[in-house]
Amino acid sequence: MANFDSLVYCSILLCFCSTFAESIAVNTITRSQFLRDGQTLVSRLGSFELGFFSSGKSRNRYVGIWYKNITVQTRVWVANRKNPLIDSSGVLRIDVRGNLILVNQTNNLFWSSNSSRTAGNPVVQLLDSGNLVLRSNFEEEDFLWQSFDYPSDTLLPGMKLGWNLKTRLDRRLSSWKSPDDPSPGDLTCGIELHGYPETVIWKGTEEYFRSGPWNGLRYSGGPEMVTNSVFNFTFMDNADEVCYMYQLSDKGSIQLRLVLNQSSSSNGGGLQRFTWNDRISDWQLFAQLPRDYCDNYGLCGAYSNCDMNQSPVCQCLEGFKPKSPANWKSLDWSGGCVHKIPLDCREGDGFMKFSGLKLPDTRWTWVNRSMDLKECKVKCLKNCSCTAYANADVRGSGSGCVLWFGDLIDIRQFLISSGTSGQDLFIRVDSSELAAQRDSKRKGKLKAAIAATLVMGILLLSCSVWYLRKWKNKTKLEGNKMNNEEQDIVDKSKMDDLELHAFDLATISMATDNFSVSNKLGKGGFGPVYKGELSNGQEIAVKRLSKNSFQGLDEFKNEVILISKLQHRNLVKVLGFCIEGGETMLIYEYMENKSLDHYIFNEKRSTLLDWEKRFNIVFGIARGLLYLHHDSRLRIIHRDLKASNILLDSSMEPKISDFGIARIFGGDQIEAETNKVVGTYGYMSPEYAIEGLFSVKSDVFSFGVLVLEMVCGKRNRGFYHPEHQLNLLGHAWKFWNDGKTSELIDPLMRDSCVASEVLRCIHVGLLCVQQQMEIRPTMSSVVFMLGSESAVLPDPQQPGFFTERFPTKASSFSSMQHSCSSSNSVTVTLLTGR
Ligand SMILES: *[C@@H]1O[C@H](CO)[C@@H](O)[C@H](O)[C@H]1NC(C)=O
Ligand SMILES: *[C@@H]1O[C@H](CO)[C@@H](O)[C@H](O)[C@H]1NC(C)=O
Ligand SMILES: *[C@@H]1O[C@H](CO)[C@@H](O)[C@H](O)[C@H]1NC(C)=O
Ligand SMILES: *[C@@H]1O[C@H](CO)[C@@H](O)[C@H](O)[C@H]1NC(C)=O
Ligand SMILES: *[C@@H]1O[C@H](CO)[C@@H](O)[C@H](O)[C@H]1NC(C)=O
Ligand SMILES: *[C@@H]1O[C@H](CO)[C@@H](O)[C@H](O)[C@H]1NC(C)=O
Ligand SMILES: *[C@@H]1O[C@H](CO)[C@@H](O)[C@H](O)[C@H]1NC(C)=O
């Protein structure tokens, strides 16, 4: 009876199909039907459509599912991702075993549902959720196979990401290789099944981003993730399954998809959540992971905390210190941190509490959901390899116990204030560390008390002084302007500790062959530079400062000592100084590969600098400058950053030289304004050249010029183009706006370059040379933008100094003092008439 019924049904459908060739009017395929290329299957309410498609420029044919109702064709699932049909001869049908298969005309198999279970009377149905299911005609709910179990790059509402523990089915997303090619690309996303499960995105086989474990309410790394008016989400972690799922709160009115996208805007790729926006008739990005620099897996190494509000972003946790202080200083954090006081795992250990964290990688964890925090602590103390513990579930007052074994990796800091964000973690430290912490807290309180008393005292005192003054009308008091830090360094008794050497003139004279012309390396703005060799064989560079340039000797010494405190991989090291017989000299380490301008502006030598080297140099300069601006004990503004001041060591590692030299030439220049503009045409920011205003942002401007010069292989100043009167900045800006950015790239390195990196460099360069100093990025953002492929960069605004070869306003300067006006790379000193 049933068979007869379905036979009739089928023959009716077959008639139907043959008359309406483009689309099957129903949402099912039965054994006697098939779907040819050109026909589609539409879900009952018309939400989704199944059919054959080609994508992008490729002519390969695939079977997939897309939104029926959405004008921008958006595929959510592909059957034969890895195995495309090359023509339109494909047929989708149910085979004799009851599987859904895709074959071509000669019956070659291209894809199969390959279900382990089969049933009589199978039907294939496209549901309004976007799920393609294979079931028995008599069983509405029991799916023999469903497309939701084999996701492509998209997680739709109601789809599960993760594990079915009973069937060992692991549902993972994988990105499309490219918009033309749906085959699995670099990124995969799934749930890592260790003790305390978490969602992970892998790039190839490397971990790229982790969500942090589910803490009962949300992922520990996603405090902003809260159930909202659009969707809610759940994480199932039980004996049957470990998986994540989200659902729409209001079905039908909104379209939402989560997609693993390898080609998201800035190339890093990641998970994107889109909603459909009817008004603009396009998908709108709702959220994106990874979000920022600190989301990069393991950026800061072990026992270190990534905090976007700090500079640098990586900070050792309290009670820990960098494993390699030198690397740490040069912003290479991969080595991580180690205990200040090593653990000896005797009675003495205790735990320090940290709040507001994304919990560390849970690869080596152990969980018991019924233990409380006290039992948890005891359990952790008992095992010497247990490094930390926390509640497994933060709902209510918290419950369960997680223990970590081994190094704690990939921690980040969230704001503690909001209460719901981040999580408490208890990390094992030596008890003396705990005591020190208690002490410093007590001292902190004591200090606060003393400070309060002092403030009261000072208030009283100043009141009396005021009365006294009024009464006596006496002269004002002079304050000591020097800050404590400088005072500390100038302290003569400490001079001996310094590594800085006071060379005598005879030594230097001998080393440089009595300052012979053949030893002269070049001439900078502050005097000639000589190469020398000390009697022990060490090569040095001697900068002989012009005699009449500086003021007091003490001032000079102070400055040199300050500079000697600066140590960074990307700064030239000052070995010493020499003050004798009217000579003032600085002695540097010698750099055998000379300076950057020797390479990038020379047709022959620039072929030696391929893109990888140039990018490394850009990045090195950025790190060195960041160190000068933010990370050293002093804030130093270079003020004369240019290609000839970037030296290259034997492995082409860049070293900034001449840093702080400008400071030596007069103490009056440490203010934010100066009456003496020191710098180089083509590298000076407008506010500095015109108004004498300088700040870290004027260095950022020079850095931007340098980056553009390195990418284009042309000098900014003296740049010539037959079509316009612009300098290099103007030229780059014009090409950027005309969408011809890639034509800027130095033809000599076009072959070696990585397009995405070069374009990012140009973008960053243009951001740095913007006219308005307020919107130029700081060096820490620059380092971040250069280093992160997923950073979303703002659009650059008009650069400063791009039309004229030199600002017209500058001609109104009362006098100009050129050290050497014939060469445009020489530092000039302008005396403004203020
Ligand atoms: C399809 O689009 C129309 C108009 O935009 C809308 O009214 C209808 O609800 C949509 N149907 C589905 C299933 O989304
Ligand atoms: C079917 O596919 C096979 C394998 O790709 C191929 O060799 C064959 O020529 C195809 N048949 C037709 C009619 O395109
Ligand atoms: C179907 O599954 C079996 C084992 O489950 C496997 O050996 C076979 O290669 C699969 N076939 C296809 C076409 O995926
Ligand atoms: C999420 O929303 C769906 C649809 O409104 C509802 O059925 C489900 O119970 C909700 N789940 C949670 C965890 O709130
Ligand atoms: C991937 O991201 C890019 C840029 O945001 C977007 O244009 C593209 O549509 C996305 N791909 C998918 C499948 O959503
Ligand atoms: C978890 O902790 C409870 C309470 O301490 C204990 O009874 C139970 O045996 C523990 N389970 C495991 C697997 O250790
Ligand atoms: C400590 O824990 C580790 C990891 O669970 C385990 O392999 C080891 O045997 C434990 N040691 C002791 C002394 O319990």
| Range name among 98-102, 117-121, 373-377 with the lowest pLDDT average | 117-121
Residue ranges matching CATH 1.10.510.10 in the chain: 597-830
Give 164-219 pLDDT, tens digit per residue: 999 999 999 999 999 999 999 999 999 998 889 999 999 999 999 999 999 888 88
Enumerate residues lining ligand 5, CB below 6 A: 259, 261, 263-265
Q: Determine what percent of the chain is predicted with pLDDT higher than 70.
A: 78
| Range name among 560-569, 736-745, 809-818 with the lowest pLDDT average | 809-818
DSSP, res 370? T
Residue 776: count of CB within 10 angstroms of its CB: 27
Amino acid at position 456, single letter: M
Query: Which pLDDT score, from 0 to 100, does residue 486 have?
Result: 33
Q: Using CA atoms, how far apart are residues 511 and 654, in angstroms rounded to an integer?
A: 25
Which atom of ligand 1 is least distant from the CA of 255? 14
Cis, peptide link before residue 184, omega less than 30° from 0:
no
Which atom of ligand 1 is least distant from the CA of 128? 13
Please give the residue that has the higher pLDDT: either 237 or 818.
Answer: 237
Which residues touch 827 (CB under 8 Å, ≥6 apart)?
A: 524, 525, 526, 640, 678, 679, 680, 819
Residue ranges matching CATH 3.30.200.20 in the chain: 486-589
For the residues of 86-145, what is the DSSP string, one character each? Answer: SSS--EEEE-TTS-EEEE-TT--EEEE---S---SSEEEEE-TTS-EEEEETT-SS-EEE
Query: Which pLDDT score, from 0 to 100, does residue 368 have?
Result: 94
| Plot region of 204 (φ>0 → left; ψ -120 to 50 → alpha; else → beta) | left
**Mean pLDDT: which of 181-195, 474-488, 671-685, 807-821 is highest?**
181-195
Query: Which protein residue's CA is at the shortest distance from atom 12 of ligand 5?
Result: 261
Amino acid at position 263, single letter: S
DSSP, res 303? T
Give 546-580 pLDDT, tens digit per residue: 665 554 566 667 667 767 777 788 998 888 888 88
pTM for the full model? 0.60
Q: How far is the CA of 49 from the centre of ligand 2 (A)?
A: 26
Are 761 and 618 in contact by the 8 Å Cβ rule? The answer is: yes
Query: Which protein residue's CA is at the shortest distance from atom 2 of ligand 5?
Result: 264
Closest to 402 in 3D by CA, of 598, 533, 211, 220: 220
Ligand 2 in reach of 106 Cβ (< 6 A): yes
Q: How far is the CA of 40 from the centre of ligand 3 (A)?
A: 26
Ligand 1 in reach of 444 Cβ (< 6 A): no
| Range name among 212-216, 532-536, 802-806 with the lowest pLDDT average | 802-806
Q: How far is the CA of 425 from the centre of ligand 7 (A)?
A: 20
Q: What dihedral angle (degrees, nearest 10) is formed by the CA atoms of 373, 378, 383, 389?
A: 20
CA distances to 680, 745, 769 from 700, rounded to whole Å, are: 14, 21, 7
Active site residues: 640
Query: Which pLDDT score, from 0 to 100, does residue 789 have?
Result: 74
Are 790 and 823 in contact by the 8 Å Cβ rule? The answer is: no
Q: Using CA atoms, how far apart are residues 402 and 194, in angstroms rounded to an integer?
A: 12
Q: State which of 109, 114, 116, 145 you would mutate to test the pocket of ligand 3, scoring each by most atoms of that ligand within 8 A of its C-beta.
A: 114
Q: Look up residue 534 and give its two tokens.
A: 């000390």
**Mean pLDDT: which of 86-90, 483-487, 791-795 is highest?**
86-90
Are 371 and 336 in contact by the 8 Å Cβ rule? The answer is: no
Q: How far is the CA of 236 from the centre of ligand 4 (A)?
A: 14
| Range name among 361-365, 368-372, 694-698 with the lowest pLDDT average | 694-698
Q: Note the ligand closest to the C-alpha atom of 384.
A: 7
Closest to 105 in 3D by CA, of 124, 122, 85, 123: 85
Q: How far is the CA of 462 from the centre of ligand 6 (A)?
A: 66
Residue ranges matching CATH 2.90.10.10 in the chain: 22-142
DSSP, res 753? -
Q: Note the ligand closest to the C-alpha atom of 371.
A: 6
Which atom of ligand 3 is least distant from the CA of 116? 5
The structure tokens 């003393």 sit at 450
* Helix (H), strand (E) at residue 67: strand 62-67
* Helix (H), strand (E) at residue 470: helix 431-472
Please give the radius of gyration of the chain, using alpha carbons only, rounded to the nearest integer. 34
Q: Which residues pair with 85 in a beta bridge?
A: 61
Q: How far is the CA of 259 from the centre of ligand 5 (A)?
A: 9
pLDDT at 293 over 70: yes
Query: Which protein residue's CA is at the shortest distance from atom 13 of ligand 6?
Result: 368
Q: Which residues pair with 770 in a beta bridge?
A: 799
Closest to 58 in 3D by CA, of 84, 80, 36: 84
CA distances to 93, 115, 813, 826 from 144, rounded to whole Å, are: 16, 7, 84, 77
CA distances to 440, 496, 579, 647 from 583, rounded to whole Å, are: 49, 22, 6, 24
Q: Which residues pair with 337 in a beta bridge?
A: 322
- From 3.10.580.10, 2.90.10.10, 2.60.40.10, 1.10.150.20, which CATH number describes the 22-142 domain? 2.90.10.10
CA distances to 268, 312, 314, 334 from 293, rounded to whole Å, are: 11, 11, 10, 14
Specify the length of the chain in residues.
Answer: 834
Arithmetic mean of pLDDT over the chain: 79
Query: Which protein residue's CA is at the shortest distance from atom 2 of ligand 1?
Result: 69
Average pLDDT over residues 711-719: 86
Average pLDDT over residues 697-704: 93
Indicate the pLDDT class of residue 387, thresholds 50, 70 and 90.
very high
pLDDT at 751 over 60: yes
Ligand 1 in reach of 46 Cβ (< 6 A): yes
Ligand 6 in reach of 401 Cβ (< 6 A): no
Query: Which protein residue's CA is at the shortest distance from atom 1 of ligand 6?
Result: 368
Which atom of ligand 1 is least distant from the CA of 45? 13
| Plot region of 772 (φ>0 → left; ψ -120 to 50 → alpha; else → beta) | beta
Ligand 6 in reach of 397 Cβ (< 6 A): no
Which atom of ligand 4 is least distant from the CA of 233? 13
Q: Which CATH superfamily hosts domain 486-589?
A: Phosphorylase Kinase; domain 1 (3.30.200.20)
Q: Which CATH superfamily hosts domain 597-830?
A: Transferase(Phosphotransferase) domain 1 (1.10.510.10)
Residue 546: count of CB within 10 angstroms of its CB: 14
Query: Which protein residue's CA is at the shortest distance from atom 1 of ligand 5?
Result: 264
Q: State which of 69, 128, 253 you would mutate to test the pocket of ligand 1, scoring each by most atoms of that ligand within 8 A of its C-beta.
A: 69
Q: How far is the CA of 799 from the centre of ligand 6 (A)?
A: 65
Q: Note the ligand closest to the C-alpha atom of 104.
A: 2
Indicate the pLDDT class of residue 742, thresholds 50, 70 and 90.
confident
Q: Using CA atoms, how far apart are residues 353 and 49, in angstroms rounded to an integer?
A: 53
Q: How far is the CA of 218 from the centre of ligand 7 (A)?
A: 29
Q: Using CA atoms, how far apart are residues 718 and 154, in angstroms rounded to an integer?
A: 52
Ligand 4 in reach of 355 Cβ (< 6 A): no
Closest to 326 in 3D by CA, of 9, 676, 661, 567: 567
Q: How far is the CA of 347 from the centre of ligand 1 (A)?
A: 68
Ligand 6 in reach of 54 Cβ (< 6 A): no
